[in-house]
Structure 1
């Protein structure tokens, strides 16, 4: 399919200034920058441009470049998601490449590429493997040698676009100069299996959506229905209302996509590999684990995510930061990380574009923007509405404090260690008569602090060290932490997950507050014996106001609602019905700030 150059020029400019199409979401990490590129170019578009791979396969790309002839730095956005939808301002969880009408008028070429086997690109998609990284190398080198390219290439986009960025950086193409991967997952296993528990609501909807979206025709995706959607969602009033599109809306979108049809190959095999055939780490997963390959990254990396993205990309953001910090000073590239508040990475993705401009203006154009000034970690503290900085993560001034899971249900700094509490895991699976008495056990357990008398700030790694016994040989541990207001309303903070049979901790890679699980070899739990579990909760930060309480819930199912879930994503529980006992010797480690 040859490139189709348009003779018309788009002069729409997005940004934050008066008269520009207003971008949704936060545009910086609470900072001001200098010497940023100004919007001064019209945009010329080429559609369905073929990019040759070394094995003869051609990938298809849409290219937007400045109207004025010249050599410009290039930003590449690559994923399996339809390139045809990336300029449609619809709140779909696939519109994540970044806005052409922001970057191209400011002097960048934007190349949006479909990976092989998706949306008419040749070949077969094999998800996040060495073959994908080889393709990304070839795409970068192609872009770096075109007549409209200055030879300086960066990469852009969130979610899978961010994952592709790190994959390309691991492959180390010479023309790649910097990446900006917000909301990435560097380890595919941990995206799909949280501590050994299948992230089922996400992965089932996502794989079906991919099968449908990536096999739609170019004619349909550029047809009148999509054009009508583009026009509707460009309305400023409607667009402004979408700036806090949340995960539940994204899940509903996945479910709507699932009503279409798609070919069995390769999508059914992909789903089987992800969700059924490989519940434990093996060589297939390790090929798709970039945390083991970070030493190959030689270009500057800007990491980031939003605090409420606990079931998808936030855990891996910290894993990736930690992985870079384990490298020697000589082998570690420049790395920065920003943690955003609510709505930080909404759909369509157009937040943090000014921040990205400051990053790429520095690394691709050599402009002094100030992006490297100050500590490398910046985080928004929810409920304090403050930006804070740190040289490290967790912040150097945070201290792990123990909160005891007392037998009376109080989460206390000074609780006793005697006694225990019990709940019935998966009681809904027991096929009892409707006339039978209900089990005299709750479906989960909660511990709540007394109402706070002063503000309490925390930021950093969080761990539950739990002593527990079960009557089965395996179970699910699903943990939720919430901020409870005086009126009883609760706000989800973070979560943790662990399959009991995959409780083995990699002591070499673990630190207090952040245990790392191997998840490669299941070991049956001895029934009715107390076992110590180290369960990582996704790192987080928050201010708890005076009068509020902190509530910890422990259970074995979030699909039934026994344990609160976030963004509508729930898990396929492990184990059968079991009476699970949690002993009062258990403690929650919370990183308190002074």
Structure 2
């Protein structure tokens, strides 16, 4: 155990202030840790991280199952200037930032860690708390008044939310892999309840860190004390937080619950670098891109990368990018960042990824190619099948796949993807799970390191057929937008036209490779896969109350050809 006690201490060049109280506008307080440089005589810009996972939690102990993978794949993260002693979950590493003249402020969200109060995930009250924290940091005697925000996942989501409140001292932010639309990105993919991840998040990362939880295993690495503060009567604890899993069950549509949490893009005017992960299927990828499109900020960049969700923010090249962005916007260094093209992305090529910069999203050379499904041959191609046909599958047992012919030349597809399908079901509803996959010339599936799943497919999309209505004003042929505000049940065996949003992707198919569109009525699982990660990562839709077998376990059918031209729209880069 290390010996940095509460209060003001120092560790080499770091000044460490633990358990600093931030006053809130309603009279309550938040508890934070402040790390700042000892060698700087003047003021420094603060970078804030607002977390529900514990400012004093130990990433190497409390999140060991994830952190061990990071250290296995990227041991350089805790080499050189950092040994990881101050690392907490998804928070910037103070040892990487303090030598460059920044302060890091790590804040326990209300109701978590050592911050007392009622906890409700992603709530507007929590966002207002973050606003107050930004304004507090902006006027500290050691602060330049230019506040930055940085963090992964939850810590990124809160950035989108608080930026919409336009705190005066907020100067720049880097939401690293953070969802934007709380209904479509997180709770309900295409209207289907993302139950498994919400339950895991609740059980293993939220409730365990509730303020006053005397049963929490989390310990402050410096003092050995419980990092959730003084114990509260266990009879009172259940009333001090809102159950996120139950909330997901109670809100099947995009109602006021979600609209309170999804920011209004026109309100976001802060300069930002939105960093997404191509492998972030089921949680963050869509949000990083949607926020980049919808936010009103005149100074915004979209960065898309690979690797795991747990490692990507800490990699040396990622930290260098973050520092260059903040050096420009928080320190005023004339490093030319403002001249960088607004889109910077990794192109996923099975032979080796490479980087590309562009001026627009979707990319300037995009050609939208329709690949038509043919149920007779179970293929898809740019030729329309003349004759009508159909193919069926048992929703909870089977899946079907349509394959392209081998590509004659290298073919790149980077951008949004969508499917238009003509479907029917033997029951009154159907959940449509669509997976875009790639296969090499020998027929072996090409997989990628996902944000969570180590063998992720090219992309995925979902839709509940009863919520098939689209908003024409917000839809494009390559990105349908469903309002998810009503339900229109199916008539058994009647054919319906539906549009499925498939999350954006990047894939180069070398000559001889094929693409496949796999359609089923349950979460995609790769044949023979074992354990939890079977192709869809943690983002499973297995709540029986949301998907009763009597309604979602029928025989589903895909119709193709003639006047029912089922197809997938792919972003071919010419």
TM-score bucket of the superposed structures, by smaller chain: 0.7 to 0.9
How far apart are residue 71 of structure 1 and its match?
A: 1.2
2:307 is aligned, of 331, 334, 342, to 342
**Distance apart, 1:489 and its partner CA:** 2.5
Q: What is the CA–CA distance in structure 2 between the aligned matches of 1:91 and 1:379, rounded to whole Å?
A: 29
Counterpart mapping for 1:104-253 below 5 A: 104-190=98-184, 191-209=186-204, 210-215=206-211, 220-223=218-221
The alignment partner of 2:269 has SS state of coil
Deviations 1:15-40 (CA, angstroms, capped at 9, x unpaired):
xxxxxxxxxxxxxxxxxxxxxxxxxx
- Does the 8 Å CA contact 1:78/1:115 hold for their aligned counterparts? yes
Equivalent position of 1:32 in the other structure: none
Q: Provide the C-alpha distance between the structure 1 equivalents of 2:401 and 2:43, rounded to a whole number of angstroms.
A: 60
Indicate conservation of the 8 Å contact 2:276/2:289, yes or no. no
Question: In structure 2, which of residues 435, 450, 456 is the aligned counterpart of residue 480 of structure 1?
Answer: 435
Q: Is the 8 A contact 1:95 1:348 kept in 2?
A: no
Find 1:78's aligned residue among 44, 47, 50.
Answer: 50
What is the rounded CA distance, in whole Å, between the counterparts of 2:503 and 2:169 in structure 1? 35
Separation in structure 2 between the aligned mates of residue 50 and residue 124 of structure 1, nearest angstrom:
17
SS in 1 for 2:177: coil
Q: For residues 530 and 311 of structure 1, what CA distance do their matches in structure 2 show? A: 28
For 1:405 and 1:449, locate their aligned partners in 2 and report how far apart those are by CA, in whole Å.
9
Q: Is the 8 A contact 1:196 1:499 kept in 2?
A: yes
Q: Give secondary structure in 2 for the equivalent of 1:171.
A: coil
Partner of 2:273: 302
Distance 1:219 1:509, change over 3 A: closer
Taking the aligned partners of 2:305 and 2:176, their CA distance within structure 1 comes to 10
Q: Any unmatched runs of 5+ in structure 1?
A: 11-41, 228-260, 428-442
State the distance in 2 between where 1:522 and 1:226 align: 52
Q: 1:455 to 1:219 in 2, by over 3 A?
A: closer
- Displacement of 1:55 in angstroms is 1.1
- TM-score, length basis structure 2: 0.83
- Tell me which residue corresponds to 1:318: 289
Q: What is the root-mean-square deviation in Å for CA atoms of aligned residues?
A: 2.5
Q: Tell me how far 1:488 sits from its aligned partner.
A: 2.9
Matches of 2:239 and 2:320 in 1, distance apart? 40
Q: Are 2:371 and 1:403 aligned? A: yes
TM-score normalised by L of structure 1? 0.80
Residues 466, 490 of structure 2: 8 Å contact kept: yes
- The change in CA–CA distance for 1:506 and 1:475 in structure 2 (over 3 A counts) is same
CA offsets per residue over residues 262-312 of structure 1, 9 Å max, x none? Answer: 9533456332112x111111111111111xx22222210111111000111
- SS of the equivalent of 1:174 reads coil
Secondary structure, counterpart of 1:284 in structure 2: helix
- 8 A Cα contact 1:307 1:340, kept in partner: yes
Q: Distance in 2 between matches of 1:385 and 1:426?
A: 36
- CA offsets 1:23-61 (integer angstroms, 9 cap, x no match): xxxxxxxxxxxxxxxxxxx11111111111111111110
Cα deviation code 1:133-152 (max 9, x no counterpart): 21111101111111111111
- Does residue 1:46 correspond to 2:48, yes or no? no
**Runs (5+) with no aligned partner, structure 2:** 68-87, 226-234, 448-456
Report the CA distance shift for 1:311/1:530 in structure 2 as closer, same or farther (over 3 A).
Answer: same
- The residue that corresponds to 2:252 in the other structure is 279
Question: How many angstroms apart in 2 are the aligned matches of 1:283 and 1:539?
Answer: 27
In 2: Cα distance, 1:460 partner to 1:335 partner: 18
Change (3 A) 1:7 1:130: closer
Task: Choose from 473, 476, 491 the match for 1:508.
Answer: 473
Residues 181-234 of structure 1, C-alpha deviations (whole Å, 9 max, x = no match): 11111221121110101112211101112111345569952148989xxxxxxx
Q: Is the 8 A contact 1:95 1:347 kept in 2?
A: no
Work out whether residues 472 and 578 of structure 1, in 8 Å CA contact, stay in contact via their aligned partners in 2.
Answer: yes
Q: Residue 353 of structure 1: CA displacement?
A: 1.2
Number of paired residues? 503
* Cα distance in 1 between the residues matched to 2:518 and 2:416: 18
